[in-house]
Structure 1
């Protein structure tokens, strides 16, 4: 009987050791080696339709991530700052947004990485004025009411433009409005100017509601947009970051190769003429590229300026958040 108990104990120990070895071999989980078990990827977009609308309808992300057992959820936002807030609270994994929200997020110690460049930044942000406005230069904005979404890339563009013109922010009336609030305020004359981004620039200029007072190319202030990922997600699943960018590139190439179809699709979504959409694409052509040293240097200018005027509380080194490895791998 004593011999039987000894052999039983040995058998139990052997089973436990084998179990531990198998667990270590499968990556430390007990789900048959699938480290994505129960994982949902949350993708943030600004508005509905457009390039992301095609990808959502075709379920390109769902199909590719689904092959790995990963689910996909979409979340819509009006501007960049709410996106970085969602990333800070672990409610969002990926987002595409402008340069200023990224600077503010880094200064607030929100953990993220910039993984590719979305827009060049020359013409996608502008200050627009009513078509019948007599304003000629940024200097003419002194004493005027200007709508802008706080913390957006247009917010940075506006303040840098005012500084270039020698206008203090106390010498203008900044009205902080999201696009859905700014549009009626602009149309009714409640504000004299609107610092905004595309598609709002093109939608208003090509429909005869507005004209451009100045944009990035004229002012010499770039407003590039980027794709970012929550840092913890990237650290855990670098291969999924690359996969995300591969699917995005598929969507971008679809637009390039099916431009007429894309233009008609976007025009129908926004209920505007195709010519308006053509103007939007010319002004804000989507790219998906590694971020150059020159763009990072421009981003540093934005960060330094925002610190000087007190919009962020500490100096930051913007290069700390840029990581091109994922997009370089995705584009191979």
Structure 2
């Protein structure tokens, strides 16, 4: 690892830790029994559709609970919002909870989506000389720092006899990374759907590898601890409605894609391909998936990507 890369990671962790360690919460950020504040990302299709359809509002209205929706650009920012009490519930990938817990965030794992390894991958330009993962050695690989593809890249390199120090990590948000790939300023880009499907169709990109046999690519529903302790009924209703929404998406993928197209700003056909890569099946958190998260946490600690050891089971109500 070069010194500039280390400094960048150290600065990132320090800034994240400072945000997450804040204890002086503003008045609006405290637990409110009559509110259910949901954090989501535009690419979180099931949550986006649940918001659009209004089913959760109808379920919770008789209980006197108002639902509000808060959009975040990525998982790490959503976790910050959860920790400081700005939201009560959110949906992120595998790596953000590990980074956040290591930085002091207090949340709980509520449920997870069963594995979706085809929903993330590494792409290169169609005419790129890079043909194998080994060919990435010494090259610039872009990905969103602290996101689920951060773990995917680490695991993919390890499976192919390389380490994170064998590439040049370039930390970019999806839009910037796509532009960099199209301009030829990076060799490869690790990304998730629907951006993955969009790159393959619109950016003349080629799939180098997806996460099959490398990473489970679990997605997690997380809850603010106090809210989970006091409002388990609300979270249970939310998961029930999300389960129904997921089944609707599976049975009506084309219709779901058409509804998502103007929201996500992508062609409906691209969104449909991305939706087909996800399972849309959610299960309560269990020991097996927590063990997988522990493996990610231990690996990140060994690589000095997180500042301290964590126990993922601590992020439960058990």
Question: Larger C-alpha radius of gyration, 1 or 2?
Answer: 1
Show the 5 A alignment for 1:169-318. Answer: 169-207=164-202, 209-218=204-213, 220-270=214-264, 272-318=266-312
Per-residue deviation at 1:313? 2.0
Show the 5 A alignment for 1:1-332. Answer: 39-47=34-42, 50-207=45-202, 209-218=204-213, 220-270=214-264, 272-322=266-316
Cα deviations by residue, 1:119-157 (Å, 9 ceiling, x for unpaired): 513222211111221212211111211111111110111
Q: In structure 2, what is the Cα distance between the partners aligned to 1:317 and 1:153?
A: 18
Q: Indicate conservation of the 8 Å contact 2:49/2:260, yes or no.
A: no
Cα deviations by residue, 1:264-289 (Å, 9 ceiling, x for unpaired): 22345445444323321222232211
* Local SS of the residue matching 2:86: coil
Per-residue deviation at 1:46? 0.9
TM-score for both structures, normalised by structure 2: 0.82
Per-residue deviation at 1:231? 0.5
* Local SS of the residue matching 1:315: coil
Q: In structure 2, what is the Cα distance between the partners aligned to 1:138 and 1:283?
A: 22
Q: In structure 2, what is the Cα distance between the partners aligned to 1:37 and 1:122?
A: 37
Cα deviations by residue, 1:206-250 (Å, 9 ceiling, x for unpaired): 3462122112114x2222111000001111211111121122123
RMSD across aligned positions (CA): 2.3
Greater shift in the superposed pair: 180-189 or 286-295: 286-295
Q: Indicate conservation of the 8 Å contact 2:117/2:210, yes or no.
A: yes
Count of aligned pairs: 288
Q: In structure 2, what is the Cα distance between the partners aligned to 1:291 and 1:122?
A: 19
Dislocated runs of 4+, deviation >6 Å: none
Q: In structure 1, what is the Cα distance between the partners aligned to 2:150 and 2:129?
A: 23
Q: Indicate conservation of the 8 Å contact 1:49/1:269, yes or no.
A: no
* Local SS of the residue matching 1:186: helix
Unaligned runs of 5+ in 1: 1-35, 325-332
Q: In structure 1, what is the Cα distance between the partners aligned to 2:44 and 2:279?
A: 16
Structure 1 48/222 Cα, relative in aligned 2: closer, same or farther at 3 Å? closer
Q: In structure 1, what is the Cα distance between the partners aligned to 2:69 and 2:139?
A: 38
Structure 1 271/77 Cα, relative in aligned 2: closer, same or farther at 3 Å? closer
Q: In structure 1, what is the Cα distance between the partners aligned to 2:109 and 2:245?
A: 19
Q: Indicate conservation of the 8 Å contact 1:111/1:232, yes or no.
A: no
TM-score for both structures, normalised by structure 1: 0.79
